[in-house]
Structure 1
């Protein structure tokens, strides 16, 4: 008997999946002549825009995913286990979880007028085999073929049930454009990017780019936004532009957001920062000293996360949970035994652990390991991330109380990424993203699948390089079954490992930074209607949000 997971589609979108807002057109959302005003978005800081609309690139411009290029089905952690039909109407597994059949929506076109079909889907997945750098979710793709114009069959080299959300969220590119590329990830794609999405590139300069509505979009009637403006903004100009009310939708850390933004117009200006992962200190587990779980336990006890939350993060986001699960996003996955668990700041306990483990205090007040290695390490951080800079300074002060010297090293963002990915650090700060399921989060924390290969030292997840047979076994258990109880059992084992083994030093939840104004546009997700994560750089959630927006009345 075949195992099926079929997602049904009805006209427009399934009512149970999305409740579309009705049409509006008030004085704020429309100009004086009745013309709908543009939606103005800030997604990423920068003095200028560097043209790149390649959805597989590491630095594509916001809107590339979700607005120009679209996924097969949309999965978001805000609607767990409820994939939403998009370019595909249904998804069906074989019994073994090694093959998926996708039934595609009919009547979809690329914005250059060519028909979208199953050949494009098969091409995109086969490209992952030929060019692994385009396989952003490390899917075990073995082959892909189109069995007719609207059916694609993807085969995997191992059971892939756990990858269902990532399979669905894969953005599809046009074979008639991309087949001629020698190196797909090097394609800048700045001239008329061809996608199936609701928007297409209209204007591009180093200070502003504009996306215009694709009038031939397959669901154009549900898109009321006519233009999206992306101005180039630095951290400083972002604050002043947001305060002036010139942005409708923005991300990023804003100091004193209430005074700068919300209190200027509390009826229309809002923020919502749900947990989007966790901010951690990654210890380089390739360094022998960090193999000592007692040292890791002492480091954890010596960190005052409440102070970090209140001072560095201004109370915007709470301390991490010891399991690593961002809350309330993954409340339902929490093991009952850990529901009441919380990190405790206890420098006396930290000192006691270190004393008993033989880490003696030197004449300079810095402890040394039994082999004479001083507990003194550099902490690499991006110098232009003010919240992380503040966190690092607090860590330096807190850990000094237990005889550990931490020296924050602010470096460029590019240098930080290179050092983090290549393991050229002792300690570094790292964000672990929420993923699409708790499995994704734990995989990025502990899976040996992300270990460097023979050709490169670089990794794109599990930056601390913590590898555990127990973790791999639990991840495999989750991956190899569709049974909810067996998957939950695996997740609870991963929670136990996170709590007892302390692979990373969790600090605070990583906020999904989201500030918005309803002066001109309404329908954004919020705490009362959390249908998507709200950060404008968050895809595919941005595709859900854009459908809900209507001119303010």
Structure 2
């Protein structure tokens, strides 16, 4: 499962960098450490020892805008609000306390928190916020999301950002994913290249020390919200997944996200520890679906895609490939359960089938002109229904899933073979449309709102003819009605739920019928944590942050919420 989880992390970063984000997601949360002890143990009752899956030495760099950053988002540096995509709760105020859009979404007014200081003692104010946004505008390498606003200082605690067009949907990125930096230090440096070995931020933690194999963050005693109860966070570098599981068994780490044997019974196998599995990445068979844009093969027929959808025994796939950590999924790609309120009432089947329906497969294919041949495989116009699924070599869970699905599909008359290649080759095939099917996950956007996934993966603006690189929409799906609905959503106030739902209804009807991405299941990300040593961990009933140790700034929100038990 770790390989799939890591893929989900890379995918989400690519999405935010390619289409939606001006703030940078944490790509390689590099644990390293130091601290007062050279031990990897977690005996200090107020120190949390974290392992993110990192192996190898770290190169120090706490520049939140550098592609080689190793951490700090949410802990050392803060955004204006905490925004997560695992719930639809109101944004949590951080460096800002209030925000408001004007009626047409062309002006965002932000009220900043008073009394905040940078960790070097300098005062934080509106100048730092305006500087950060202007820095993004002035550096195209940082402005990967196409931020086109104009930031301006009103006074020390008020900032406005104006836009030429409605920009409601940019709110989560601007408010929750843009990390504010101090003007008095960053003015005059190259933000894309500067190595920050002594970071200055407003966050709850400071860098205590750094070694190639471990680094320690220590509580900021002058933090505006009071020093966190977890006094130290120590990131370790180990030798890999097995070492992480061994460290968990030995009780020398307190939080990791990754595989362990018998993952369903963590609390029994690791006394004092518990686990949580959260579904975020929606697994699918991606298809090069659009013949008008140059896609070739049987998968360009919507009937074939629908038939594959009904041919899958998802219970078996979950058991054999994912240790039953995957969860239910909606064919609308509204994430369950967090976004179920956005699913259209017009959708008859709001969740994917659990088991195969051979009769439905036959009904769909024969209705589209296919007939079974002597070999048991459907054919049309003399061409057998044989397809190839692309997968990356070494992604064992996905390879197992394909092997399982291939047997299921063959049983109903659809031939499927797997093609393994390097990550670069696999990515190139998807991007340029030189594939039939590929297994991957569709990640979420900046907030728990289906708009971001729909805009990324179903917008004509994010695709391209076969042979050209498609930014995100690798299925080549293109529908004028969906594009128009996305445009309306972009200009609609989020509080106008009726208008927004009308657009979701249009989009969902189109993608469920066309099915350019064939839904499988929602992939689960499992984290193990020391419940005996700390209380306040996210739960399914109180999912205040995404509980993956490598997920920033969510991990910082967890650090702040935890209370040591003294054990």
Q: TM-score range by the shorter chain?
A: 0.7 to 0.9
The alpha-carbon deviation at position 391 of structure 1 amounts to: 1.5
Contact kept, 8 Å, 2:60 with 2:197, in 1: the verdict is no
Aligned residue in 2 for 1:330:
339
Aligned residue in 1 for 2:93:
85
Cα pair distance change 1:271/1:462, threshold 3 Å: farther
Aligned residue in 2 for 1:224:
230
The alpha-carbon deviation at position 549 of structure 1 amounts to: 0.6
Aligned residue in 1 for 2:559:
546
The alpha-carbon deviation at position 72 of structure 1 amounts to: 0.8
Deviations 1:462-486 (A, max 9, x none): 3433232222222222222221211
Deviations 1:471-517 (A, max 9, x none): 22222222222212111222233222232221211111122432222
Deviations 1:443-479 (A, max 9, x none): 23312343369x98252x3343323222222222222
1:493 is matched with which residue: 496, 500, 506? Answer: 506
The alpha-carbon deviation at position 410 of structure 1 amounts to: 4.0
The alpha-carbon deviation at position 421 of structure 1 amounts to: 4.7
User: Aligned equivalents of 1:254 and 1:222: distance in 2?
Assistant: 30
Aligned residue in 2 for 1:390:
400
Cα pair distance change 1:227/1:516, threshold 3 Å: closer
Cα pair distance change 1:191/1:365, threshold 3 Å: farther
Cα pair distance change 1:128/1:500, threshold 3 Å: farther
Cα pair distance change 1:380/1:403, threshold 3 Å: same
TM-score (structure 1 length as normaliser): 0.82
User: Aligned equivalents of 1:129 and 1:362: distance in 2?
Assistant: 60
User: Aligned equivalents of 1:48 and 1:405: distance in 2?
Assistant: 45
Matched, 1:433 2:443: yes
Aligned residue in 2 for 1:99:
107
Matched, 1:400 2:400: no
Deviations 1:122-162 (A, max 9, x none): 233233333344245x3542322223332222122321122
Contact kept, 8 Å, 2:307 with 2:364, in 1: the verdict is yes
Bigger drift between 284-293 and 157-166 goes to 284-293
User: Aligned equivalents of 1:508 and 1:221: distance in 2?
Assistant: 41
Aligned residue in 2 for 1:270:
274
Contact kept, 8 Å, 1:78 with 1:530, in 2: the verdict is yes
The alpha-carbon deviation at position 438 of structure 1 amounts to: 2.0
User: Aligned equivalents of 1:60 and 1:421: distance in 2?
Assistant: 26
User: Aligned equivalents of 1:306 and 1:376: distance in 2?
Assistant: 23
The alpha-carbon deviation at position 373 of structure 1 amounts to: 8.4
Aligned residue in 2 for 1:9:
none
1:451 is matched with which residue: 463, 469, 475? Answer: 463
Aligned residue in 2 for 1:479:
490
- Which segments of 5 or more consecutive residues in structure 2 lack a partner in the other structure? 1-40
> How many correspondences in the alignment?
514
Contact kept, 8 Å, 2:284 with 2:518, in 1: the verdict is yes
2:72 is matched with which residue: 64, 71, 85? Answer: 64
Matched, 1:507 2:517: no
Cα pair distance change 1:281/1:528, threshold 3 Å: same
Contact kept, 8 Å, 2:286 with 2:440, in 1: the verdict is yes
Matched, 1:165 2:172: yes
Aligned residue in 2 for 1:26:
none
1:284 is matched with which residue: 279, 285, 288? Answer: 288
User: Aligned equivalents of 2:407 and 2:159: distance in 1?
Assistant: 56
